């Protein structure tokens, strides 16, 4: 039976962020994820989770200067000290929120990088993730690596499932896993059912996310038939969370997220 987490950075965007927890719980979600918690005190967020009976299942480590277009700094040479400070901050939040997973964004490949420079980026990334994993292990936290499609995020260091799994193997830390976003995977590679069958049994998939393709709306909108994929995940005994990281088709109209949850209701009914 799939377990769904509301991504509060994308869903309920007609409401102030702090008001989204209560509405997600009212709509039947028992868990949440979002991009970044750092604009709020961890104690404030922890209190909201407790009040609404929600679990925090994922958020991102600091990505560098997001407003200026940075999308992670893990692969960027010369930013190691900043990266380590960010991991320390993220783990402090993870402890307060009792969150077992951190997504560490790889970053954008600088223009003109190839050959030896590309090898330096890869080595920097591996060293940074190993450091993050070592620090996170003491808290029982998993570090997640997510391939992201180059249409939504041009130049992102990590875009393919095989690339991510090879990095996990090379990094060699038990608490480093892949965040398998089926939206990104469909855009880059397709053949989702076979990718799920290939990678889920490895134990290296730590979290799954969904959205309709190509518009990134509700999962019942677009070219993917998610009921088949959810049944496949069940058949493979996936017991992790599925993050609903999509943009409501009605945008920020009042109740847009709640009104678009018809796809979710059968799963909530079966869970009762």
Q: What are the catalytic residues?
A: 146, 245
Residue 264 and residue 31 in contact, taking contact as beta carbons nearer than 8 Å: no
Classify strands 142-145 and 241-244 as parallel, antiparallel or unpaired.
unpaired
Alpha-carbon distance of 21 to 75, in angstroms, equals 33
Exposure string of 235-268, with b = 16+ CB inside 10 Å and e = fewer, is eeebebbbbbbbbbbeeeeeebbeebbebbeebe
Q: How many helices (H) and strands (E) does the chain have?
A: 10, 8
Residue 128 and residue 97 in contact, taking contact as beta carbons nearer than 8 Å: no
How much helix, strand and coil, in percent to the nearest 5, is found in the chain?
Answer: 45, 15, 45
């Amino acid at each position: 039976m799939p377990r769904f987490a509301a991504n509060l950075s994308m869903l309920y965007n007609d409401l102030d962020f702090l008001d989204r927890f209560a509405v997600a719980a009212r709509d039947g979600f028992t868990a949440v994820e979002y991009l970044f918690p750092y604009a709020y005190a961890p104690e404030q967020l922890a209190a909201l989770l407790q009040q609404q009976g929600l679990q925090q299942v994922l958020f991102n480590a600091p990505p560098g200067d997001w407003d200026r277009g940075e999308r992670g700094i893990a692969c960027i040479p010369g930013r190691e000290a900043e990266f380590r400070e960010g991991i320390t901050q993220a783990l402090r939040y993870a402890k307060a929120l009792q969150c077992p997973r951190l997504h560490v964004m790889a970053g954008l490949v600088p223009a003109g990088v190839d050959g030896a420079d590309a090898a330096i980026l890869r080595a920097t990334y591996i060293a940074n993730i190993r450091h993050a994993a070592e620090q996170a292990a003491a808290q029982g936290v998993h570090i997640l690596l997510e391939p992201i499609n180059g249409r939504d995020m041009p130049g992102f260091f990590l875009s393919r499932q095989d690339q991510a799994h090879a990095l996990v193997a090379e990094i060699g830390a038990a608490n480093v896993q892949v965040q398998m976003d089926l939206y990104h995977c469909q855009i880059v590679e397709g053949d989702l059912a076979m990718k799920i069958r290939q990678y889920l049994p490895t134990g290296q998939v730590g979290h799954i996310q969904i959205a309709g393709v190509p518009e990134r709306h509700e999962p019942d909108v677009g070219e993917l038939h998610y009921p088949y994929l959810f049944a496949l995940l069940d058949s493979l005994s996936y017991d992790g969370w599925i993050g609903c990281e999509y943009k409501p088709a009605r945008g920020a109209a009042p109740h847009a997220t709640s009104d678009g949850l018809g796809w979710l209701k059968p799963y909530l009914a079966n869970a009762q």
